[in-house]
Chains A and B, each alone.
Chain A
Amino acid sequence: DAGVTQSPTHLIKTRGQQVTLRCSPKSGHDTVSWYQQALGQGPQFIFQYYEEEERQRGNFPDRFSGHQYPNYSSELNVNALLLGDSALYLCASSLVVGNTGELFFGEGSRLTVL
């Protein structure tokens, strides 16, 4: 049973560039959440996708956008990268129906912006 998989694991970008991060949820899960984790900090909620729509959003600017596909996989896009966007980006999957909030996380994509 495959867990949550994310790609790429590491990437380096320069300021102003755009980046796309990808996530495949755990088998059977229909909901994907994205979190940003800066070094030494706890994860910060970016947004969550269910049924291919953004259902809830944290306090992140519009430069952060996402998408969910019919197979439940998801992408996180960040435009006009800033140095402060350097972080570990974590994808978490869960089930909406009967879900008590347990999230399964991938290993993350570590983004460095130079």
Chain B
Amino acid sequence: AQKVTQAQTEISVVEKEDVTLDCVYETRDTTYYLFWYKQPPSGELVFLIRRNSFDEQNEISGRYSWNFQKSTSSFNFTITASQVVDSAVYFCALRNAGNNRKLIWGLGTSLAVNP
């Protein structure tokens, strides 16, 4: 079975705080891809990152960083020095290698960054 769990439904932080969004996944495949998307109030899902299962190197992009750990089936997302514009719902998603068409989504974490 494939499943993505985002245990944190809502997070509220004050601007400039660091915040980590958790993502735990389940899959029987050895090759798969993990994604993070941001959904601001406008509704559009914005692609943030894709990680291959065979590449466990962590990635940093500006204030964003991702920690991929296969041993714990987790793909956590950290925002450093959060800003009000980071307020959005963040989704973690999974796609297996043999399936080019369907993403399995978590329920999302709603992040509110307060001034």
A44 to B108, CA, bound (A): 12
Q: Does B28 contact A (CB under 8 A)?
A: no
Residues A88 and B103 in contact, CB atoms below 8 Å apart = no
Interchain CB contact (< 8 A) of A99 among B52, B91, B100, B106: B100
Chain A residues within 8 Å of chain B by Cβ, number: 27
Residues B50 and A43 in contact, CB atoms below 8 Å apart = no
**A60-112 at interface with B (beta carbon < 8 Å):** 88, 90, 92, 96, 99-108, 110
Q: How big is the B interface, by class?
A: 20 to 34
Residues A102 and B47 in contact, CB atoms below 8 Å apart = yes
A-contact 0/1 string along B26-45, CB 8 Å cutoff? 00000001010100001111
A-contact 0/1 string along B79-115, CB 8 Å cutoff? 0000000000001010100011111011110000000
> Which of B33, B102, B108 has the largest count of A CB atoms less than 10 A from its CB?
B102
The 10 closest A-B pairs by CB, nearest first: A42-B105, A105-B45, A107-B44, A108-B43, A101-B95, A56-B101, A48-B101, A45-B102, A107-B43, A42-B107
